[in-house]
A and B are shown apart, each in its own frame.
Chain A
Amino acid sequence: MMKINLKIEPSLEELDKTRNAINNAIIQLVGEKNWIYELNLAIEEIIVNIIDHGTKGATINVILEKENNKLLITIIDTSTMFDMTTKPEPDLEQHFKEYKKRGLGIFLIKNIVDNINYKYEKGKNILTITKIIEG
């Protein structure tokens, strides 16, 4: 089983570097696929959520592994406990009516990945997303 562990700079200014590193890691594991862009975006949205809600000085690690026909991506951070998966689905009509500029990230993540799982263990937020490898 192939596994790649990336240490992520917890800074919005470094997002471009982060995107490149994750893109390269996914390609290394599964080759070129037409869904890599959106999966990378989902991971970016998770990282941005951690940076926005997280504790200063917290570390973020992204572990990518291929398991049979699945790509598992585990995002581990040392911020205070924060479960983004419990956020309720947005009412899009209302969202646009109020001209809201934030709050669609989690909705986007849930629409892109095949499974999402959260746990808090030993002072760490552990979020695992699964993508079925196809295409």
Chain B
Amino acid sequence: MELNLDFIKDNNNIIVKVKGVLDAHFSPQFEKKVSEYIKPLNNHLIIDLSNVSHIASAGFGALMPIKNIQDSKGKKIVLIGLNDNVKKIFNLLGFSNVIKEYKTLEEAKSSL
């Protein structure tokens, strides 16, 4: 089992395609790699979770330092592709109040 991150530049946006699970084991490396990548840049961030089958509290938590970086630059962070199970926990933990999520990439792009 491993975590795969694909960084794609798309006009003014960065798309991060994530493959794997975001549990207490993989979340620290997810946070570190994404943070390091976006820090020198000045783009909106779209995180594609359509190939992530499982996100634990550590995984959602890892989004907060990333959101902090984006907020400090006045740039957005949005999510796409949450499966039903993941979305339920995302809502339950209240993350839906602070991070927007969309079904498709097109919807996410038009929100930015």
**Which residues from chain A sit less than 8 Å from chain B, CB to CB?**
12-13, 15-16, 19, 37-38, 41, 44-45, 48, 51-52, 92, 96, 99-105, 107-108, 111-112
Q: Which residues of B contact A111 (CB under 8 A)?
A: 92
Task: Report which of B56, B64, B89, B97 forms a contact with A100, defined as CB distance below 8 A.
Answer: B64
Contact between chains at B56 and A41 (CB < 8 Å): yes
| Closest B residue by C-beta to A48 | B24
Q: Which residues of B contact A96 (CB under 8 A)?
A: 64, 94-95, 97-98
Residue B25 interfacial (CB < 8 Å): yes
Beyond A15-B25, A92-B97, 7 additional contacts (C-beta under 8 Å) are: A13-B25, A16-B1, A45-B56, A48-B23, A96-B94, A100-B61, A101-B64
> Smallest CB–CB gap between A81 and chain B, Å?
22
Could you tell me which residues of chain B, from 77 to 91, have a CB within 8 Å of some CB in chain A?
85, 88-89
Return 20 A-B CB contacts under 8 Å, by A number: A13-B25, A16-B21, A38-B85, A44-B56, A45-B56, A45-B57, A48-B23, A48-B24, A48-B56, A92-B93, A92-B97, A96-B97, A96-B98, A101-B31, A101-B62, A102-B58, A103-B61, A105-B56, A108-B57, A108-B89
